[in-house]
């Protein structure tokens, strides 16, 4: 295992005082050169998606942990590797950056990447806090000519196509509720999200201060580093891991706004392993569109699986393994059930990102969807932690 010192010794001793100028506009046939910040478990999945896209080349990776850089090189041999992401952003050969770091670092890496002139694919949940969301919005507004895709992959899936058609072509009437569930289970002794601490997870091989970002200063803790999803300092729990995907899908499809109010209850009922985030939870989201979104989730039983039901007084859209429209016979008697059949490859969201870079067109999950979803998720987390309903002041753009 190569050490932190060896990696640092392979790069320049100082950072340039100014970052790269904005990338030039790419033509339809231009090769896009990609770097990634955070090639961990999720980042490596994104790397494989990139490699499925034509006329795209991986050229660089940055991570605070040396093992991740070696894993990235195994996926894309010949890439440059850096422990400090700022070296990657200085590289003018990099056109686009994928950001797959822990949630508390998204803002830092997103803003720096846009400021460096890169196109950005930002993994979910886009922003960790309201303050971060606003900083990211300012950077995005100032990044003329840059393409941004937020990593809610279902927005590029076949079900997104079908949902849009159903909402446009089938009678739904007044939609008053969306009911969502997301349940999982794991074998006894194998807690959800738990990752082992390896012997090489030491201060020699991990840039701890960079991992902490702007959170509180703490002594090095390998468990805290690898199991960051357990801790409020770095994670929004399952709200940020999975509720965000289900919310973002319908926020985009139905053009929904930031919630009026959010209430979240639950607790750590199953996994007493030191985690701070709940393993069982219920979220109630009051929308300004006179609609109630409910989300129920837990890690102790997978019978209910994952799915959403959009409930209108003239029709229902059910989304699970397949998406279907069913008329409400109380009001609509001459309509048949409709099943969705559109498909898309697993790399469709990444391909859309590259297509939009070349065409300078909006992505399937643009910044605005990521922004509204982030605020909804933060409201849920704050409600749980403060044990009260959290409301949104749209004029001040603040939680109250």
Count Cβ atoms below 10 Å from residue 348 Cβ, excluding itself: 22
Residue 392: strand pairing partners: 399
Q: How confident is the model at residue 283 (pLDDT cuts 50, 70, 90)?
A: very high
Q: How confident is the model at residue 6 (pLDDT cuts 50, 70, 90)?
A: very low
Q: How confident is the model at residue 111 (pLDDT cuts 50, 70, 90)?
A: very high
Helix axes 41-51, 66-75, angle to 10 degrees: 20
Q: Residue 321: how many CA atoms within 13 Å on its side-chain side?
A: 2
Give the integer Cα–Cα distance in Å for 37 and 60.
9
CATH class of 4-153: alpha beta
CB contact at 8 A, 232 and 28: no
Q: 0.85 exceeded by the pTM?
A: yes
Give the integer Cα–Cα distance in Å for 137 and 95.
21
Mean pLDDT value of segment 77-96: 97
Going along the chain, which residue ranges are E strands? 32-37, 56-62, 80-82, 96-99, 119-123, 148-151, 175-183, 261-267, 280-287, 291-298, 306-312, 315-319, 323-327, 338-339, 390-393, 398-399
Give the integer Cα–Cα distance in Å for 356 and 369.
16
Residues 6+ apart with CB under 8 A from 65: 40, 201, 205, 206, 207, 225
Taking the domains of the chain in order of start, what are their residue ranges? 4-153, 156-189+229-346+366-399
> What is 156-189+229-346+366-399's CATH number?
3.30.360.10
Over 60: is that where the pLDDT of 15 sits? Answer: no
Over 50: is that where the pLDDT of 12 sits? Answer: no
CA dihedral 175, 177, 182, 183 (to 10 degrees): -130
Over 60: is that where the pLDDT of 18 sits? Answer: no
Dump pLDDT digits (tens) for 133-192.
999 999 999 999 999 999 999 999 999 999 999 999 999 999 999 999 999 999 999 999
Mean pLDDT value of segment 281-293: 98
Q: How confident is the model at residue 350 (pLDDT cuts 50, 70, 90)?
A: very high
Region of 189 please: left (phi>0), alpha (psi -120 to 50) or beta.
left
Over 50: is that where the pLDDT of 95 sits? Answer: yes
């Amino acid at each position: 295992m190569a050490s932190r010192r060896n990696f640092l010794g392979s790069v320049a001793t100082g950072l340039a005082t100014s970052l790269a100028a904005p990338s030039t506009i790419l033509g339809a046939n231009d090769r896009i050169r990609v770097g990634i910040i955070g090639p961990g478990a999720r980042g490596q999945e994104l790397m494989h998606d990139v490699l499925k896209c034509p006329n795209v080349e991986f050229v660089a990776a940055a991570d605070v942990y040396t093992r991740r850089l070696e894993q990235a090189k195994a996926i894309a041999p010949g890439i440059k590797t850096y422990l400090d992401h700022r070296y990657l952003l200085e590289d003018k050969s990099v056109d686009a950056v994928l950001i797959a770091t822990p949630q508390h670092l998204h803002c830092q890496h997103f803003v720096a990447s846009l400021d460096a002139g890169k196109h950005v694919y930002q993994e979910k949940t886009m922003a960790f806090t309201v303050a971060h969301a606003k900083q990211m919005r300012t950077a995005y507004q100032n990044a003329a000519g840059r393409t941004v895709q937020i990593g809610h992959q279902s927005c590029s899936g076949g079900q997104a196509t079908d949902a849009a058609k159903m909402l446009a072509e089938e009678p739904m009437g007044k939609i008053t509720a969306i009911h969502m569930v997301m349940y999982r289970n794991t074998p006894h002794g194998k807690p959800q999200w738990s990752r082992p601490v390896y012997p090489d997870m030491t201060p020699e091989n991990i840039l701890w201060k960079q991992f902490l970002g702007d959170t509180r200063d703490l002594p090095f803790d390998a468990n805290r580093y690898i199991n960051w999803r357990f801790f409020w300092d770095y994670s929004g729990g399952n709200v940020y891991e999975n509720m965000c995907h289900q919310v973002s899908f319908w926020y985009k499809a139905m053009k929904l706004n930031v919630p009026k109010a959010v209430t979240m209850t639950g607790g750590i009922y199953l996994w007493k392993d030191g985690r701070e985030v709940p393993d069982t939870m219920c979220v109630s989201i009051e929308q300004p569109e006179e609609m109630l979104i409910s989300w129920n989730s837990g890690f102790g039983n997978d019978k209910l699986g994952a799915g959403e039901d959009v409930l209108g007084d003239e029709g229902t859209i059910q989304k699970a393994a397949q998406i279907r429209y069913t008329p409400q016979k109380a009001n609509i008697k001459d309509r048949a059930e409709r099943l969705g059949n559109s498909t898309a490859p697993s790399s469709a969201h990444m391909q859309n990102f590259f297509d939009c870079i070349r065409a300078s067109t909006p992505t399937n999950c643009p910044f605005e969807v990521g922004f509204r979803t982030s605020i909804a998720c933060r409201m849920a987390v704050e409600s749980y932690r403060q044990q009260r309903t959290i409301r949104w002041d749209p004029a001040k753009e603040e939680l109250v």
